[in-house]
Amino acid sequence: MPRSQKPFFTRKRNDSKTFLFSINPVSGLPRKVCLDWQRRSFQDFPDALVQYRNPKNKSTADAGVIALIRHLNHELDKGDNAQRISLENVTVGDWAKKFIDIETCPRTGRNASKNRPYSPGTLVA
């Protein structure tokens, strides 16, 4: 029977009295975020969690990692709502205008600033 994986691991360094931690995807965070927080020191905590930066024992270190996981989940939820795209009913002609307009398309603006045409075969609506 396989062991259940923990959401995080904390361990004490042999050379000093500081702790290291790693977050696993079992915690509910995306894999990329977990890879960013592998074998990190408590000194890397964000400013919002400054009270957890110097744990004295393992239970305090575990509480700090739990607080960090909650903080990261909250930040991801907050950022996720800002990145959602609203659906619009757009016709092909309106979409083409948005696509080649300097105000809405950064690539068109860059090409226009370098006096280049947008593309060899321009869109015909």
Q: pTM higher than 0.75, yes or no? A: no
- Cβ pair 118, 104 in contact under 8 A: no
41-91 tens-digit pLDDT? 998 898 889 899 999 999 999 999 999 999 999 888 876 544 444 556 767
Judge whether 2 lies within some domain.
no
Give the closest residue to 70 by CA, choosing from 84, 52, 83, 54.
52
In this structure, are 51 and 15 located in the same domain? yes
In this structure, are 30 and 71 located in the same domain? yes
Residue 96's domain comprises 87-125
The alpha carbon of residue 18 and the mean position of all alpha carbons in its chain are separated, in whole angstroms, by 27
Structural domain count, the chain: 2
In this structure, are 45 and 19 located in the same domain? yes
In this structure, are 77 and 91 located in the same domain? no
Report the pLDDT value the prediction gives residue 91, as an integer from 0 to 100. Answer: 77
- Dihedral of CA atoms 113, 84, 36, 16 in degrees, nearest 10, equals 120
